[in-house]
Amino acid sequence: MEMMLGKKQIQVIFLFKFKMGHKAVETTRNISNTFGPGTANECTVQWWFKKFHKGDKSLEDEEHRGRPSQVDNDQLRAITKADPLTTTGEVAEKLSIDRSMVIWHLKQIGKVKKLYKCVPYELSENQKNCHFEVSSSLILCNNNHFSIGL
């Protein structure tokens, strides 16, 4: 269930979790699991928790903190095409963004993480034909293996 939350609503959740004694990492994970990847950034949650810890419980946000996340989907496509086995953590490090943002942008470009690889949601015709050829040759090889009595 993904839903869009406003900035103030998310900040109220930060304050609530802080008052409940939760850690920033746990808060980030819970919010992302509940409201979708990218809803909360761990660095942002840590910033708010530090602010609350210093005694400032106001939900007024300071202007111009952090840098906006700029992800070039073409660059992300190139990285995953060059090395499909690259992890989301490695991609996040290369692009200097949070891993949850990588996952969110992978979904935007039609990729999903399967077996630690970034792969297209659906196979192309070329990929389907290649899979068929390999499967057929394995079946033929297996049939020949048993027919000669090995």
**Cα–Cα separations (whole angstroms), residue 120 to 32, 34, 107, 113:** 23, 25, 10, 9
**Does residue 143 belong to any structural domain of this protein?**
no
- The pLDDT of residue 64 is 43
Answer for the pair 27, 45: CB distance below 8 angstroms, yes or no.
yes
- The pLDDT of residue 122 is 76
**Does residue 81 belong to any structural domain of this protein?**
yes
The SS3 call for residue 39 is coil
Across the range 38-47, mean pLDDT stands at 87
Cα(51)–Cα(74) distance, rounded to whole angstroms?
A: 37
Across the range 29-53, mean pLDDT stands at 88
Count up the domains in the chain and report the number: 2
- The pLDDT of residue 16 is 92
Per-residue pLDDT at 149 exceeds 60: no
> What are the tens digits of pLDDT across the range 87-142?
888 888 888 888 888 888 888 888 876 655 566 667 788 888 988 899 888 888 77
> What are the tens digits of pLDDT across the range 59-99?
876 554 555 557 788 888 898 889 878 888 888 888 888 88
- The pLDDT of residue 116 is 58
**Does residue 34 belong to any structural domain of this protein?**
yes
**Does residue 141 belong to any structural domain of this protein?**
no
Q: Are residues 78 and 106 in the same domain?
A: yes
pTM over 0.95: no
User: Which domain, by its residues, includes 16?
Assistant: 7-53
Count CA atoms within 13 Å of residue 90 on its CB side.
10
Of all residues in the chain, the percent with pLDDT exceeding 90 is 14
**Does residue 78 belong to any structural domain of this protein?**
yes
Q: Are residues 80 and 44 in the same domain?
A: no
CATH number of the domain within which 13 lies: 1.10.10.1450
**Amino acid letter for position 149:** G
